[in-house]
Amino acid sequence: MIDTLYREEILEHYKDPHNFGKLKKFNRSSKQLNPFCGDEIEVFTKINDGKLKEISFLGSGCAISISAASILTDFAKGKSAASLTKFTQEDMLSLLGVEVSETRKKCAFLALSVLKDCL
């Protein structure tokens, strides 16, 4: 039951991703491509006084990569850059709330990798 709810949330984030688009004013950005599957994520951040004030992303790819970017950008808003640099892949899996196969973990971690480039 819980897993079904999380799967529905993943699909909702894929169909209507939060924070999708390019920020008008940003001071850091990064873009990465997963060459194995073609997923591509670009993150735009506005960081002031060590805090992530605004964040958005553009990208294309599978449901896991787009949903992960959407969920991560929601989570990251307002957090300190220092705390986000300590956010791990295991934390990312917990944030997603669904079982991710070994082959799909690269998809799940792509947005986190791009965000860390921005920090």
Percent of the chain with pLDDT over 90: 82
Output the CATH code of domain 2-118. 3.90.1010.10
Between CA 94 and CA 26 the distance in angstroms is: 28
User: pLDDT tens digits, residue range 80-90?
Assistant: 999 999 999 99
Contact 44, 56 (CB under 8 A): yes
97: tokens are: 């709330």
Between CA 108 and CA 30 the distance in angstroms is: 17
Q: Is the pTM higher than 0.95?
A: no
3-class DSSP state of 3: helix
